[in-house]
Amino acid sequence: MFYSYQEVQNYLTDFYRKFHYKLSFPETVTLMGTSVAAHETMEQPDFLTWDAKNEDALKALICQLPVDAEQFSPSKKEKLHHPHPENQKIKQVEILEQVGIVLETIDQRSEMCCTNFFKLLYVMKGSCLVRIRGAQFQIREQQVVLFSPMIQHEQVISDPASVILMMGISEKTMEQFALPGLTRWDKLFQFLIRTSKNSQKGIAILDVQKDFTLYEFIRLLWHYYSQPNNGFFQRQMQLVFSLFLNHADFLASDTAVFYEDSIVYSDDTMMLDILHFIKERSADVTLELLSREFSYDRTYLSHRIKQATGKNFSQLVMEARLEKAKTLLLYSSFSVEEIGSLVGYPSRNNFARVFRQYTGFTPKEYKNAKNVS
């Protein structure tokens, strides 16, 4: 017995509007079995008819997919099959195939969960909020998020017009098919190596763009996925996924952000630019100024600096000011008061206190001791 994906989505939304309570996908299908007539047979949509351009047209095809109600019977709740492999009541979710792909539903209950496989979210249209270990990321249109196995996470989708795909990829597939397509010095390659075998946990966020090649890979993934579940089509999905990930990595090579065990690793060039700006403008730099200059939220920017350098913004500013003060004290004719003002400490007493904490000397002692390193 089957329901269409659209019928399940409609039931989810109607239930939420009526009772102000969000169901999980399995709960929805189970409840539908008690009140909604199911179809004995349903045909698979032909994904090769999609033009690989319009996201809504793809969504319309996905919504025609049959959902096998038997897969959500009480005796099978421990192991769910696609088209939705996550049971929100189970904290650890297992994948049953090497590669799977689903359309994320709207108005579904979101809870923290973890998987024993790599999980990829692709926001083709709309947006999605991702929470992980106290941090949260607003995932924008044409961004890809890759979750490592066993990392606790939650995604919240509120925009009904969103088109967000989720792929489940086994570690074996990632190792045998995806990794060989990436270069060893590539940041995504290093991320996958670090997070495989549960050695570390984290997420990668890739900024891609609306790209015909990427969409063509999506079309092929859905085409193979809708075919009979056998080894040939699974192998084709493995191959196509590896091409998809490789191309997404190519599109996002300069903008990728990596979050691992509470650390955010971002593009080195951009972080060097931020640190250079702090050094050059240390006398008057503020987080607000830095935020305007680099177009980042202040809280997020402060977090990224801390994770990239191990020091907070105030520490970096203080060090930049005092290193500049040391140079001026040794090699300029400015007075101690003038140097304090030049580097950002207009108060003589405050300058002397901070300088002594940092070097062990007062500014005057340092200026008079040319041999002090």
Going by C-beta distance under 8 Å and a sequence separation of 6 or more, which residues neighbour residue 309? 275, 316
3-class secondary structure, 23: coil
Angle at the Cα of 46 from the Cα atoms of 44 and 48, rounded to 5 degrees: 150
Please provide residue 184's backbone torsions phi and psi, each rounded to the nearest 5 degrees: -65, -25
Q: Which two tokens stand for residue 135?
A: 């941090």
Q: What is the mean pLDDT of residues 242-269?
A: 73
For the segment 294-319, what is each residue's pLDDT rounded down to a tens digit? 767 788 788 888 887 888 999 999 99
* pLDDT attached to residue 82: 37
For the segment 56-79, what is each residue's pLDDT rounded down to a tens digit? 999 999 999 999 998 876 554 433
pTM of this prediction? 0.67
Residue 271 has pLDDT above 80, yes or no: no
Q: What is the mean pLDDT of residues 146-154?
A: 90
Q: Bridge-partner residues for 288, per DSSP?
A: none
136's enclosing H/E stretch is strand 135-139
* pLDDT attached to residue 327: 83
Task: Residue 120: name the closest of 159, 87, 160, 151 by CA.
Answer: 151
Percent of the chain that is helix, strand, coil (3-state, to 5): 50, 15, 35
Q: What is the mean pLDDT of residues 127-149?
A: 88
Task: Kindly report the average pLDDT of the chain as a whole number.
Answer: 85
* pLDDT attached to residue 199: 65
**Spatial distance between the Cα atoms of 9 and 223, rounded to a whole number of angstroms:** 21
* pLDDT attached to residue 93: 58
Contact between 7 and 36 under an 8 Å Cβ cutoff? The reply is yes
DSSP letter at 153?
A: B
> Of all residues in the chain, what percent carry a pLDDT higher than 70?
87
Angle at the Cα of 250 from the Cα atoms of 232 and 300, rounded to 5 degrees: 115
| Amino acid in the structure at residue 372 | V
For the segment 247-260, what is each residue's pLDDT rounded down to a tens digit? 998 988 767 888 77
Please state which of the ranges 51-55, 166-170, 260-264, 364-368 shows the lowest mean pLDDT. Answer: 260-264
Residue 80 has pLDDT above 80, yes or no: no
Q: What is the mean pLDDT of residues 159-183?
A: 91
Owner of token pair 């606790």: 152
If you compute the radius of gyration of the chain from its CA atoms, what whole number of angstroms results?
Answer: 27
